Amino acid sequence: MTDKKNFYITTPIYYVNDVPHIGHAYTTLACDTMARYKRLMRYNVKFVTGTDEHGQKVEKAAAAAGMNPQAFVDKYSQTFRHLATEMQVTNDDFIRTTEPRHKDAAQHLWNELLKNGQIYLGSYAGWYSVRDEAFYAESELMNGKAPTGAPVEWVEEPSYFFKLSEWGDKLLEYYEKHPDFIQPDSRRNEVISFVKSGLRDLSISRASFKWGVPVPNDPDHVMYVWLDALTNYLTVLGYPNTNSDDFKNFWPESVHVVGKDILRFHAVYWPAFLMAAGLNPPKKIFAHGWWTNEGEKISKSLGNTIDPIELIEVFGLDAVRYYLLREVSFGQDGDFSRQGLINRYNSDLANAYGNLVQRVLSFIYKQCDGKVPEPAEYTAEDKELLNETDALPEVLEKSMENFAFHKYADHIWQAIFKANQYVDMQKPWGLKVTDPKRMHTILYVLAETIRRIAILTQPILPIASEKILGQLGVIKTDLDIFNQALQAGTSLPEPQGVFPRRVEENHTQRISKGLQENEGRGAKVYE
């Protein structure tokens, strides 16, 4: 047990019928940022990602690749592990739904639902989308396709059903009592509207294929992939052992971050499954938007998919993190642009933050014998800048609680802007001879401002923040040291630039380089 506050955050587990793309990276980076922030705020954090490996879609993809399903998922699950490694995410577990621990958890949840009279055997006849792994009513189809645009097929087979129709009023009551359960509000309103339109019992098994968790005591059926997949959030906490420390500490503080396309499964089916099994729903579900590429929908057929690993290799991890989190409000759709990334990098990281750090630390190194200067009495301008950063933690906490990463960055960059203004107004470079005490005070105020800012930029810029703090002689970097000011006389290393300006390669250079280095990178599978 721990006396710290607890926080449990999850990505959706990613489907392994394809290679990772920018959408996977976006969700994972957002969760990683939140996990890093909560650790900074002294929380006990559990952060989990992983892969969803069952279902008809995977079975078909494996057959098309000439592989057995287990070998197929072993291969493609590794690409998601590789992405997490390349992005340096700080996940505490990586769950695969083909693991024995998950099979045990999913079958136990099934048995709890069965014991509580929530499952019955019947037969299913209706429209099913293999791509979405979802059933659709006739009224939901648009031009003969699912609302997502996926093709559907008519399915008739025996099936076990979950009594979802009994849970509509209870779900609406839960949403009303927990107004922050679904965020942002626009998504909450969509879910409430869907539930109010009426819920039908949900088919939760399939008998037409075998690649899934077997239904307990009926080997002719496998569990519906979404009942199987959603259970992963419990598996990693030791379920079915609800008395484990992990379960008791983290489940009450669980936050699921998902794309808006899978919100229904998480905000309707999942809490109904949990309540029907005698468990509490998660604390919060946040649905983020989608990315387009230069104004176009991203698709393999258009050849405009965005490989996150290539972006990281070209622009650096911190630049990619910053752009994706700063460019749009997390709950809204965003349009990706390489030039936009470069512009954001140069204006915010190189010119504003990087330039502030470089010119201040370089001046201290050259004019103060490479040591933290000794401040004299503060002026009103000094106090104003220090007060600006002193107030940041409380302001930033409000932004993070709402997953407003862009606002988190905005508040910090306002302080960076004011620090740059302060440098220009105070002109310390002209005081070495005329007023060295004042010069030392100005430089100390700036170094202390940079220290505080670098502590707070750790969640979004972990690599650069560590470098900046290291150049200030700061090793321990959680919020406990936020108010532990720099000690005058501390020796500092020679400063190194953190954000060199970037110039984009032209299109021809980029294509040529890509073909030479890795033709077909988007299809690369890392063994």
At 3-12, the pLDDT tens digits run: 789 999 999 9
Query: pLDDT tens, 307-326?
Result: 999 999 999 999 999 999 99
Pair 26, 291: CB distance under 8 Å: yes
Query: What pLDDT, on a 0 to 100 scale, did the predictor assign at position 504?
Result: 60
Query: What pLDDT, on a 0 to 100 scale, did the predictor assign at position 3?
Result: 73
Query: pLDDT tens, 85-126?
Result: 999 999 999 999 999 999 999 999 999 999 999 999 999 888
Domains in the chain (CATH in brackets) are 6-288 (3.40.50.620), 340-481 (1.10.730.10)
Residue with tokens 């197929």: 72
3-state secondary structure of 2: coil
Query: What pLDDT, on a 0 to 100 scale, did the predictor assign at position 505?
Result: 52
Secondary structure (H, E, C), 465-491 = HHHHHHHCCCCCCCHHHCCCCCCCCCE
Query: What pLDDT, on a 0 to 100 scale, did the predictor assign at position 294?
Result: 84
pLDDT tens string, the chain, 527 residues long: the values are 447 899 999 999 999 977 898 999 999 999 999 999 999 999 999 999 999 999 988 999 999 999 999 999 999 999 999 999 999 999 999 999 999 999 999 999 999 999 999 999 999 888 988 888 787 888 889 989 998 888 999 988 899 999 999 999 999 999 999 999 999 999 999 999 999 999 999 999 999 899 999 999 999 999 998 999 999 999 999 999 999 999 999 999 999 999 999 999 999 999 999 999 999 999 999 999 999 888 887 766 667 888 999 999 999 999 999 999 999 999 999 999 999 999 999 999 999 999 999 999 999 999 999 999 999 999 999 999 999 999 999 999 999 999 999 999 999 999 999 999 999 999 999 998 999 999 999 999 999 999 999 999 999 999 999 999 999 999 877 777 888 999 999 999 999 999 988 866 544 344 334 433 333 333 333 22
Helices (H), 47-160: 56-64, 69-86, 100-115
Gap between the Cα atoms of 257 and 91, Å rounded: 14
Query: What pLDDT, on a 0 to 100 scale, did the predictor assign at position 99?
Result: 98
Query: What pLDDT, on a 0 to 100 scale, did the predictor assign at position 502?
Result: 80
Type of residue numbered 406: H
Pair 27, 262: CB distance under 8 Å: no
φ/ψ region of 290 (left if φ > 0, alpha if ψ in -120 to 50, else beta) reads beta
H or E element at residue 168: helix 168-177
pTM recorded for the entire structure: 0.91
> What does each C-alpha distance from 233 to 64, 247, 263 come to in angstroms?
30, 10, 15
